[in-house]
């Protein structure tokens, strides 16, 4: 391919002139068609993290519970008794904006493969979703309904419970919805496996679905550039998922690992065979020979470059010692999974691609995987807010009762029951706390039916939460991102869980623009500091950039998924007030502000201002007090104060418990200001609340806040239940 012919092509594939020059220099020649396709994928933003990798090095990644850190398909932490929890969150934003059902469905399928690729059985899915205003946008309603249907279709069909998540609605997500999926898996330590290829002479076996043209260009084009008004043309690049095929693939993979038949295992996701094989070679410091003529195809006339970059779903690649190959193929046949030897490991440190024995491409593994240039960003704080306010939905001088009603039925606070009822939260029989029962989902370990806990012995478990708040991060990226970590840990504390590790998905606009670069850099620094504050390491994650339309970038949206351990799930904390007569207390140093709050949004204000200063020692003390109070059963309920402020939190406790409360707020405390991750509402007998600020008592059929409001509980519950379902009807 001549330079004249190649330049337009490499630009179409997302490579810059400078990057192409580096490739030519590294090869000593111009790349061929197959090589250019492979390099464009591996040097894309989606695969190379070329605008974020330097920043990510600031995050703390080690800790006493960490078994597998960043760099593998998923991170893993020790939960005791020789067992590990593997978990990760990833995005499928751009594909879902083009085709929401398949984009969201294959996002779930991809994150599940990351979990069983490290040897863990998937036991839970959570999702973090962002859309435009469904009240005014038919497009956003369409995206929401079809993305939710896709998530439910894949998770319900494969038999993995969807146990939690979050949904927010803001104008900046109108063209760029966010679909972040988190998966959690369980494995014995001994079954945890690496993706690193090893042993020259060992065989490469591809197993799973047939390879087709779906997903071609997804990583290099669709996920590594801004969306434009012409994106209907990208619809064919969205992958198509089959959860029933993935179920067989899952069971086959775990049986192969249990039998000790695999030297390494990798899933095929973005960039398909190119990324999976080259990353295996890079991690193992080896070379690979691969013959695309041996790859089982769904479409017989596929070109070699198409086979190498196809993102067809439900496929795995493994390295196998030659004498074990027949056993591997036999296990695959048992599970009705297509399996084929397509290559071998070499000591050449080159990735050679053949078609029926004829060489069609050869690239040095380091050039393909490691030599993509990493860019220094040029961050610059914007002079004014990048975002505008919306229509005023409640008057700034409205009385407290009117304001509380408006908040409870607002899209960002109202019950999500209309959404999560489309998911199966209890399949596999591990689920202890379902959505809206507790601030974090709770799963028993091992399965409850196994008899653990007989005779009153504790039943260990985990709590899992996923959180993000783009409005607060837009106000102050550093402080707002730190708040997300504090908030996620606060959710775990309310169930009695101690954090073990976290994963993140960093959703931002175009990092080549100074104001977005500033948001990203500041947010990562905030995440890093909060992780150090709470001693919670980052074990893996994902970066999704270029979430931007002609109207501007999305709100900066770092999403955090966190896993914690409970000594006994039977003592897991719940949101709802439980016992009339219990006292209600405020825990923590609460310093609320309305800047960036949900009430500010209802007032029509843009996300701007300043977030409250944080006392880290006070945050840790509050989290510890709530966690221990839940474990010791001093508290009948526990709920963190989050969006909407303290009155919304109290109302949610009343609604969840089906009982009212009489409240006397501390003088001067803003009832609707926010200070996320710092404070809690707990209830319990007086003797268990020593040293806490008592603000009321449980009882009655209304929420009575002295001097502010007195509203029937039934009215609050109806408003909260109907808010989102009314918008979607």
The catalytic site residues sit at: 46, 92
Decide if 517 contacts 380 (C-beta within 8 A): yes
* Tokens 């493994």 found at: 318
Tell me the C-alpha distance between 155 and 160, whole Å. 5
Phi-psi region of 379 (alpha: psi -120 to 50; beta: other; left: phi over 0): beta
Decide if 709 contacts 665 (C-beta within 8 A): no
Tell me the C-alpha distance between 599 and 394, whole Å. 8
Distances (CA, A) of 561 to 309, 437, 498, 558, 717: 30, 18, 14, 10, 29
User: For the chain, what percentages of helix, strand and coil (3-state, to nearest 5) are there?
Assistant: 40, 25, 40
Distances (CA, A) of 607 to 434, 472, 647: 32, 7, 21
Helix pair angle (243-258, 325-334), 10° resolution: 140
Tell me the C-alpha distance between 584 and 29, whole Å. 73
Decide if 501 contacts 539 (C-beta within 8 A): yes
Strand partners, 4: none
171 C-beta neighbours (distance < 10 Å), count? 19
For residue 217, the number of C-alpha atoms closer than 13 Å in the C-beta half-sphere is: 16
Distances (CA, A) of 526 to 62, 438, 477: 18, 27, 7
Decide if 466 contacts 503 (C-beta within 8 A): no
Angle at 107 between CA 472 and CA 276, to 5 degrees: 115
DSSP output for 497-534: PEEEEEEEEEE-S-TTSHHHHHHHHHHHHHHHHHHHHH
Tell me the C-alpha distance between 709 and 44, whole Å. 55
Decide if 547 contacts 420 (C-beta within 8 A): no
Greatest alpha-carbon pair distance for the chain in Å reads 83
For residue 81, the number of C-alpha atoms closer than 13 Å in the C-beta half-sphere is: 11
Asked if omega into 647 is within 30° of 0 (cis), the reply is no
For residue 455, the number of C-alpha atoms closer than 13 Å in the C-beta half-sphere is: 0
Give the DSSP letter of residue 233.
Answer: G
């Amino acid at each position: 391919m001549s330079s004249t012919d190649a330049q337009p092509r490499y630009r179409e594939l997302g490579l810059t002139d400078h990057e192409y020059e580096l490739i030519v220099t590294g090869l000593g020649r111009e790349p061929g068609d197959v090589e250019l396709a492979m390099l464009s994928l591996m040097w894309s933003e989606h695969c190379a993290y070329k605008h974020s990798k330097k920043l990510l090095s600031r995050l703390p990644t080690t800790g006493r519970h960490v078994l597998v850190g960043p760099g593998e398909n998923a991170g893993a932490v020790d939960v005791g008794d020789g067992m590990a929890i593997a978990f990760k969150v990833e995005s499928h934003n751009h594909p879902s904006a083009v085709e929401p059902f398949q984009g969201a469905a294959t996002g779930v399928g991809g994150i599940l493969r990351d979990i069983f690729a490290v040897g863990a059985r998937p036991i839970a899915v959570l999702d973090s979703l962002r859309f435009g205003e469904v009240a005014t946008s038919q497009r956003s309603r369409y995206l929401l309904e079809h993305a939710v249907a896709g998530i439910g279709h894949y998770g319900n069909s494969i038999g993995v419970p969807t146990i939690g998540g979050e949904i927010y609605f803001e104008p900046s997500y109108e063209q760029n919805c966010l679909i972040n999926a988190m998966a959690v898996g369980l494995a014995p330590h001994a079954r945890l496996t690496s993706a690193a290829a090893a042993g020259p002479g060992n065989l490469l076996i591809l197993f799973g679905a047939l390879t087709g043209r779906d997903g071609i260009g997804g990583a290099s084009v669709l996920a590594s550039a801004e969306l434009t008004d012409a994106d209907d043309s990208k619809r064919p690049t969205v992958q198509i998922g089959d959860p029933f095929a993935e179920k067989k693939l899952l069971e086959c993979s775990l049986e192969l690992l249990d039998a000790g038949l695999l030297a390494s295992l990798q899933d095929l996701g973005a960039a398909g065979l190119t990324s999976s094989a080259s990353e295996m070679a890079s991690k193992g410091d080896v070379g690979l020979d691969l013959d695309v003529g041996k790859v089982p195809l769904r479409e017989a006339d596929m070109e070699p470059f198409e086979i190498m970059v196809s993102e067809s779903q439900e496929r795995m690649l493994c390295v196998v010692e030659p004498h074990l190959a027949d056993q591997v193929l036999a296990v695959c046949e048992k599970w009705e999974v297509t399996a084929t030897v397509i290559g071998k490991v070499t000591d050449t440190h080159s990735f050679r691609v053949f078609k029926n024995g004829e060489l069609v491409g050869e690239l040095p593994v380091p050039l393909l995987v490691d030599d993509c240039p990493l860019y220094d960003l040029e961050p610059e704080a914007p002079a004014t807010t990048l975002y505008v306010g919306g229509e005023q939905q409640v008057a700034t001088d409205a009385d407290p009762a009117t304001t509380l009603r408006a908040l409870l039925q607002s899209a960002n606070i109202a019950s999500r029951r209309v959404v999560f009822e489309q998911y199966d939260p209890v399949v596999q029989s591990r689920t202890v706390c379902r959505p809206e029962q507790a601030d974090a989902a709770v799963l028993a370990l091992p399965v409850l039916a196994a008899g653990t806990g007989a005779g009153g012995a504790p039943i260990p478990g985990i709590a899992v939460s996923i959180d993000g708040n783009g409005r607060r991060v837009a106000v102050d990226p550093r402080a707002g991102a730190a708040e997300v970590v504090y908030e996620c840990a606060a959710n775990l504390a309310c169930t009695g869980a101690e954090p073990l590790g976290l994963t993140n998905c960093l959703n931002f606009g175009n990092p080549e623009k100074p104001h977005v670069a500033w948001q990203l850099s500041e947010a990562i620094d905030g995440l890093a500091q909060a992780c150090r504050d709470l001693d919670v390491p980052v074990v893996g994650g994902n970066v999704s950039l270029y979430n931007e339309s002609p109207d501007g970038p999305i709100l900066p949206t770092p999403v955090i998924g966190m896993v914690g351990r409970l000594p006994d799930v039977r003592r897991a904390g719940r949101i709802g007030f439980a016992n009339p007569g219990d006292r209600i207390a405020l825990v923590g140093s609460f310093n609320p502000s309305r800047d960036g709050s949900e009430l500010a949004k209802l007032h029509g204000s843009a996300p701007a201002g300043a977030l409250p200063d944080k006392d880290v020692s006070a945050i840790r003390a509050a989290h510890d007090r709530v966690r221990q109070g839940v474990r010791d059963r001093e508290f009948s309920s526990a709920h963190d104060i989050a969006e909407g402020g303290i009155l919304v939190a109290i109302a949610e406790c009343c609604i969840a418990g089906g009982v009212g409360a009489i409240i006397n707020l501390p003088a001067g405390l803003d009832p609707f200001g926010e200070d996320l991750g710092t404070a809690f509402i707990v209830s319990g007998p007086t003797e268990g609340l020593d040293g806490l600020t008592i603000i009321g008592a449980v009882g009655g059929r209304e929420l009575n806040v002295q001097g502010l409001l007195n509203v029937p509980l039934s009215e609050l519950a109806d408003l909260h239940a109907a808010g989102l379902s009314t918008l979607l009807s």
